[in-house]
Amino acid sequence: DFLYFAQEKQRTYPWDRQKRSGIVLFCLSTVLIVPLLIQMARGFARKPDRAWLYHIPVCWITLWMYGWATLGKAVGIKQAPVKRDAWQKE
C-alpha cells in the first residue's frame, strides 16, 4: 500500500528524506541473523517475554514483503492497494 499511495501522492510523510543507511542495516541484520539474535537476547534480558521469540520471523517477513514490493515496483509491476472490503464483519 505504501508504494501505491506514495506514487499517487497521497502519502504526506517524507520517507524519501530518511537515511537509507537504516534500511541497509536492517537488511544486513536480518540476512546475517546473528544481530537479530543479539537484539532478541538483549530485549529478553530487559523484558522477559515470549514475544521476543517472534523477533526473527517478523523481521524476515518484513524484509520479504517490502523486498518483493520494492522489486515489483522496480520492474514495473503496477501497484495497487489491498482490498479491505471483507476485513470487517458486521
Q: Quick check: is 27 in a domain?
A: yes
Give domain status of residue 84, yes or no.
no
User: Of 5-9, 15-19, 68-72, 80-84, which has the strongest mean pLDDT?
Assistant: 68-72
> What is the pTM (predicted TM-score) of this model?
0.68
CA distance 9 to 3: 10
In a domain, residue 47? The reply is yes
Q: Is residue 85 part of a domain?
A: no
Alpha carbon distance 20, 37 (integer Å): 23
Write out the three cell numbers for 22.
537504516
Give me the pLDDT at residue 70, please: 81
Is position 41 within any domain?
yes
Position 25 in a domain:
yes
Residue 70 in domain: yes
pLDDT at 27: 92
Contact 27, 63 (CB under 8 A): yes
Residue 64 falls inside a structural domain = yes
Alpha-carbon gap, residue 22 to 51, rounded angstroms? 23
More confident: 89 or 48 = 48
Contacts 24+ apart (CB under 8 A), 25-29: 26/59, 26/63, 27/63, 29/59
* Domain ranges, residue 55: 19-74
Provide the number of structural domains found in the chain.
Answer: 1
